[in-house]
Amino acid sequence: MRKLMAAVAATTGLVLMLVTGAPAIANGGSGPLDGLDYVSLGDSYQAGYGLNPFSNTSPFAGDPNGCYQADGNYPHILAAYFGLTINDQTCSGAITANIGYGSATVSPTDPNVILPTLPDVSTLQVTLSGMTAPQLQSAGLSADTDVVTVGIGGNDLGFSSIATACMRLSVDSDPLYLADKVGAFDNCKDYFDDPVNYPSAYLFGRITDSVAPRLATTFAAIRAVAPNAQVFVVGYPQVAPNNATDACFTDPLTANSVPYNGVDLQFLHDIEQQLDDTIEAAATAANFTFIPTWDQTAGNTLCTPDPWINGITLYLNSGSTCDPDYLPADGNTDICVKIGALHPDEGGVLEIANIVQESIGGWAATRGITASASDVTQGGQVVLSGGGFGPNETVQIELHSTPVVLASIPASATGTFSTTLTIPTGTVPGSHTLVARGLSSDREFSTPITVTASGSSSGGGASVLAEGGMDASALQLVGLIALLGTTLLAGGAVLVLRRRQTGTSQSATARR
């Protein structure tokens, strides 16, 4: 984390912003991915819900637009670090339908008094302030999009509703909201983990039957609209600790409270873990890169000495509106909850940024092309490897200055390739350039190479023998000598050509 903090502080001052509220720079700058188009998608964990300042103009204008997209969220930190040009579409409260399902649809879940009913088609988001978004998040994508991060699924599960339902006044009392809406239960696990008596509330089934197919269709829609993008799916951090006990409980009317008993905290942990595993499986099936944050945040959950997750801060309200930085609980202004409850705080956001930065940085290091040799003879071979192209797109490889197409090959699902090239025998010896261009993304990378002659004559003439056989010019010379009937072959010199030792060249230039 120290490396990212130093780098971000040096380039944009975003680390200072996390403390002082100074505005962020999010339009790209100097960095290893300078100028590439970056679109961030997802929900409140990506938007930085709870951090200040937040924008009323992104992803769309409105005061307040209800997305609570923070200037210091991890997508903005990454954009500044890598020099990316960011289009941040993240919005608190988003579900997969708000990103977009494409042409595919999935069946809605059964209505439930606690969990939200999910739409079976793409749906414009109604934000936490009641404003309707003007477009789907996927409208920010295009064939020119280079990098995408997406984090989604928690609101499809209904995590906020679940967390509200499980709150209690004391460690021994019934969950209050659940008792009001459904009935008295010792633990909310008794309701959400009972497929026989409460099938529509059964969370493990909801993940399998409803969330998983929506993730799959949403990821397919992202790929369809952004065919050349490298897509990174970011998993959720741990919120509730493993092996929780009742000792973690704190009164809900205290600041940063944890109003859950040990049974329900453990249940919340287990449910979130299954959700995270499901997101990973969907990302892998879509050939996207999954970035886990689960293990890295295990030591900083609720109830730990140094939590990266905000607890719940609320107050009982007698007015018609909540104080600034607070929202009505379940739309009821009788109880106002501080924005950012059960979400990463500044330290948690910076840690997630660090984790995602490492993954994107690894991909960035593969961009460009590398030849296995800096020198190659006429007719010789060289291995060319590269990365940074669109998934599965055709890469055309040329030898310049006068372009000669050497190969057209498909890139892998991660935009990489490796192939053996043969240098044409008629190539003029000297300095040349190998150029690889993606025919769909138009990304282009190059590396220099020196072509050496395959042989030369000396003295009165020679039979030209090349390692591995004679090339065309040598064969022509032998034929000419035979035709003239000379005795040069019998008494002349013999010139043996040897291939030069090869080295490794590095990628020299790159063009998006």
- Beta strands 314-316 and 230-234: pairing type? unpaired
| Each residue's pLDDT tens digit, 430-481 | 999 999 999 999 999 999 999 999 874 333 333 333 333 344 444 344 344 3
pLDDT average, residue stretch 344-359: 97
Helix (H) or strand (E) holding 464: strand 462-466
| Nearest-angstrom CA–CA distance, 32 and 507 | 14
pTM, rounded to two decimals:
0.84
Cβ-contact 343, 237 below 8 angstroms: no
Cβ atoms of 375 and 388 within 8 Å: the answer is no
Q: Which residues on adjacent β-strands are paired with residue 42?
A: 151
pLDDT surpasses 90 at 30: no
Q: What is the pLDDT of residue 215?
A: 97
Q: CB–CB of 125/60 below 8 Å?
A: no
The β-bridge partners of 418 are: 385
Q: Which pLDDT belongs to residue 52?
A: 94
Look at the block and give the residue holding tokens 């879940």: 109
**Alpha carbon distance 254, 311 (integer Å):** 10
- Distances from the Cα of 15 to the Cαs of 34, 119, 235, 352, in angstroms? 20, 39, 23, 14
- Label residue 190 exposed, middle or buried (CB < 10 Å: 0-12, 13-18, 19+): middle
Give the single-character DSSP code of 352: H
- The pLDDT confidence band at residue 497, using thresholds 50, 70 and 90, is very low
Judge whether 449 and 265 are in contact, CB under 8 Å: no
Average pLDDT taken over every residue of the chain: 85
Q: What is the pLDDT of residues 286-316, one digit of tens each?
A: 999 999 999 999 999 999 999 999 999 999 9
Residue 96: CB partners within 8 Å, gap ≥ 6? 152, 153, 156, 211, 214, 215, 217, 218
Which positions ≥6 away from 290 have C-beta within 8 Å?
Answer: 232, 233, 235, 279, 280, 283, 284
Residue 20 has pLDDT above 70, yes or no: no
> DSSP per residue over 19-35, as a string?
HH-PPPP-S--SSTTTT
**Is the distance from CB of 114 to CB of 182 less than 8 angstroms?**
yes
Question: How does residue 111 score in pLDDT terms, banded at 50, 70 and 90?
Answer: confident
Whether pLDDT at 38 is above 60: yes
Q: What number is the average pLDDT over the span 352-374?
A: 96
Residue 469: which H helix or E strand, with range? none
pLDDT at residue 500 tops 80: no
How high is the pLDDT of residue 402? 85
Distance CA 339, CA 18 (A): 16
Token output for 104: 């595919």
Contact 72, 14 (CB under 8 A): yes
Pairing of strands 85-88, 289-291: unpaired
Q: For residues 256 and 429, give the distance between their C-alpha atoms in angstroms, rounded to a whole number.
A: 72
Nearest-angstrom CA–CA distance, 292 and 276: 8
Number of residues that this document lists for the chain: 512
Mean pLDDT confidence for 319-338: 89
Report percent pLDDT > 90 for the chain.
76
Q: What is the pLDDT of residue 330?
A: 76
Q: How far apart are CA 31 and CA 81, in angstroms?
A: 6
The whole-number pLDDT of residue 29 equals: 57
Q: If you count DSSP H runs as helices and E runs as strands, how many of each does the chain have, helices first? A: 15, 21
Provide the pLDDT confidence category of residue 10 given band limits of 50, 70 and 90. Answer: very low
Q: CB neighbours of 5 closer than 8 A, spacing ≥ 6? A: 15, 350
pLDDT digit string, tens, across residues 163-216 = 999 999 999 999 999 999 999 999 999 999 999 999 999 999 999 999 999 999
